[in-house]
Structure 1
């Protein structure tokens, strides 16, 4: 059960960082020298996700892509939060059954 919580927690942290990267990109659209960022993900040995922020190439479709990415990250965060709630419910039911 602990591994599920750690994996979902790392997914929530990655989603939060993804929203921050997208917000940075949208907020700096009018800034001439601002660098466009992107979030790179990789899997970890324990099943979680690791992230790294990198500079991205200029992209004319970037504002739309950043808005879509922000919404996708919110959905990923919500999915991981739901997984944590369900794991907590299952553990509570198991403990209630054993009591």
Structure 2
């Protein structure tokens, strides 16, 4: 069951990075020389996800995309937090049953 916790925790970390990248991009909209960033996700062998931040190309619709990405990352963070909460409840129930 610890694997479930690790997978969900990695999802929360990547979601947090996604919010930071989106915030960086939105905060630098008015800065002419600011470089847009993007988050590249990849699966981890034992389960879960990892991410790296890379430069992004110029995109005319990027402002809207960054705002939507930030909202999606918040939802992903909450979903992973729910998985951790449920896993904790299941473990508690199992321990109560064994006691």
Partner-residue secondary structure (3-state), 1:54: strand
Q: Alignment RMSD, CA only?
A: 0.3
1:55-83 Cα offsets, whole Å, 9 max, x none, are 00000100000000000000000000000
* Structure 1 segment 1-99 matched on structure 2, within 5 A: 1-99=1-99
Partner-residue secondary structure (3-state), 1:46: coil
- Separation in structure 2 between the aligned mates of residue 81 and residue 49 of structure 1, nearest angstrom: 15
1:34-61 Cα offsets, whole Å, 9 max, x none, are 0000000000101110100000000010
**What's the offset of the Cα at 1:5?**
0.3
**What's the offset of the Cα at 1:86?**
0.0
- Runs of 4+ that moved beyond 3 A: none
- Separation in structure 1 between the aligned mates of residue 30 and residue 38 of structure 2, nearest angstrom: 18
